[in-house]
């Protein structure tokens, strides 16, 4: 995890954190371009590492996608709660805009879960009691998932029809928040 974050933040520094921040602040749509560039550079750097097996590589890329998502939520000034722990050892990776909103009006909230392995995927059905609108359970995976019940984002979508490209997620979150009438406080840098 530390090595992934080091590679991510060194790549962000090479591009220019302030440039990314300014561009996304003036046009949230530029998040797509930066996510594609950053993921491409980081995956190439990570590709030079040796992996014991393919699943380890996918888990590393999933960890990268999670760290980049957190960074982009911050620079995009999008309201979110991260690593939300609930009873019965249920852990939500990201809640948009926050847990209070999810509990009071789940149709105006999103659960974003990063799928690193089958164990993570098998836990997703446990979120349905919190989020009855399954379209508002967004899963991020390295490769496309064959699930139509939830909204799926993939780092490598392979032109699958109902699969969204991972780099679209920040723009989609912003559009969702605007469409739901969210008025959460957003930090101005």
Portion of the chain with pLDDT greater than 70, in percent: 89
pLDDT attached to residue 52: 46
Between the alpha carbon of residue 83 and those of residues 37, 66, 176, 177, 183, the distances in Å are 26, 11, 21, 20, 22
Q: Does domain 2-179 have CATH number 2.40.128.110?
A: no
Reported pTM: 0.90
Averaged pLDDT, 143-148 = 85
At residue 163 the predicted structure's pLDDT band, cuts being 50, 70 and 90, is confident
Averaged pLDDT, 120-149 = 91
- What DSSP string runs through 104-168? H-GGG-EEEEE--SHHHHHHGGGGTTT---GGGEEEEESS--S--SSEEEESS-TT-TTPEEGGG
- What confidence tens digit (pLDDT) does each residue in 18-73 have? 999 999 999 999 999 999 999 999 999 988 665 544 448 889 999 999 999 999 99
Give domain limits for the chain. 2-179
């Amino acid at each position: 995890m530390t090595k992934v974050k080091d590679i991510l933040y060194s790549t962000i520094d090479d591009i220019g954190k302030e440039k990314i921040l300014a561009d996304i602040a003036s046009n949230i749509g530029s998040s797509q371009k930066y996510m594609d560039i950053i993921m491409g550079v980081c995956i190439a750097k990570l590709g030079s590492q040796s992996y014991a097996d393919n699943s380890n590589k996918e888990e590393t890329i999933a960890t990268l996608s999670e760290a980049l998502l957190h960074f982009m939520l911050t620079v995009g000034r999008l309201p979110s709660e991260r690593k939300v722990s609930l009873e019965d050892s249920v852990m939500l990776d990201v809640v948009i805009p926050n847990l209070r909103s999810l509990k009071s009006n789940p149709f105006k909230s999103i659960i974003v879960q990063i799928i690193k392995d089958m164990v993570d995927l098998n836990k997703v059905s446990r979120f349905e009691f919190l989020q009855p609108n399954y379209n508002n359970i967004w899963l991020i995976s390295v490769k496309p998932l064959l699930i139509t019940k939830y909204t799926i984002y993939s780092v490598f979508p392979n032109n699958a029809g109902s699969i969204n490209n991972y780099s679209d997620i920040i723009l989609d979150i912003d559009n969702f928040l605007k469409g739901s009438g969210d008025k959460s406080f957003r930090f101005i840098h």
